Amino acid sequence: MQTVSTIGGLRAALAALRDRGPLGFVPTMGALHNGHRSLVEASRRQCDVTAVSIFVNPTQFGPNEDLSRYPRTLEADLQMLESTGVDVVFTPTPEVMYPAGASTVVDVGALGDRLDGASRPGHFRGVATVVAKLFHLVQPQFAYFGQKDAAQVAVLRQMVRDLDIPVELVVCPIVREPDGLAMSSRNRYLSPQERRTALALSRALAAGQALADSGEVQAGNLQRAMEAVLLNEPGLKIDYVAVVDWKTLLPVDAVKSGALLAVAAWVGTTRLIDNAVLAAR
């Protein structure tokens, strides 16, 4: 496994590997867990070469968000990636990704202002900009993202389509702890008490899912069922509870297959998200 931190180093490392076959790419912010590992494994199954980036992208954090305290565990991350058979890891500094004077951004329009984009103004502009840059640098045939960040997937699909970027996005299922909590680098922020409180997110989704499975199609009723679970949990503050179309991220009135149940909530000072896609009906 080669670890490179410069654009020249990345290009040279990948040039030497490209003729092996399809290249898969997994962008991350590090503090890796089994959710990230599942993306790497998906790339390893499908591609001959796998590249991973570790970059805590400052432009996707708001001024009062957790950029400075975001967990950084580079050594453990590299060990995990090595043991998973990754070929190239790109670990740029902010100065490498955003040299002085850089000013071009990628803005996907209204889609970027929905769900997490509504709570985190500018977040998806930062995400789309850094992922566009990474796609240009790595030039992968396949790129792997988690359903965990469902709104991010919608934003990046729109970007790839609008900018004709020749990459296939592969969306991998949410990896959970045994008790249902969606794995997240931010789970490390949680105290033992908050960790218990955080389980309400997956419980709320399970309640919405169960109601949908019983035949309920009114999005409002599903939303209320999810809210009821979250409102019952002291120590948790709802950010959003939504039933949306996964492509447009707009609310739906009646659910059909592919509708997304999505929740975001503050547990103490930690913002957590989770979602479920309703199965075919």
Q: Which residues bind ligand AMP (CB under 6 A)?
A: 28-29, 35-36, 38-39, 145-146, 148-149, 172, 174-175, 182-185
Calpha distance 223→241 (Å, rounded): 6
* H or E, element range at 152: helix 150-162
Please state, as a whole number, how many other Cβ atoms lie within 10 Å of the Cβ of residue 36. 26
Judged on CB neighbours under 10 Å (0-12, 13-18, 19+), 279 is exposed
* H or E, element range at 96: helix 94-97
Least Cβ distance, residue 125 to ligand AMP (angstroms): 16
Instruction: Name the residue with the smallest CB distance to ligand AMP.
Output: 146
Nearer to ligand AMP, 137 or 211 (CB): 137
Least Cβ distance, residue 114 to ligand AMP (angstroms): 17
Q: Which two tokens stand for residue 62?
A: 């708001």
End-to-end CA distance of the chain: 45
Q: 């909530």: which residue's tokens?
A: 265
Nearer to ligand AMP, 151 or 225 (CB): 151
Nearer to ligand AMP, 62 or 220 (CB): 62
Least Cβ distance, residue 100 to ligand AMP (angstroms): 25
CA distances from 247 to 59, 64, 119, 203 (A): 24, 29, 19, 24
**Is 36 a catalytic site residue?**
yes
Least Cβ distance, residue 273 to ligand AMP (angstroms): 10
Nearer to ligand AMP, 59 or 185 (CB): 185
Q: 């999505």: which residue's tokens?
A: 262
Catalytic machinery residues? 36
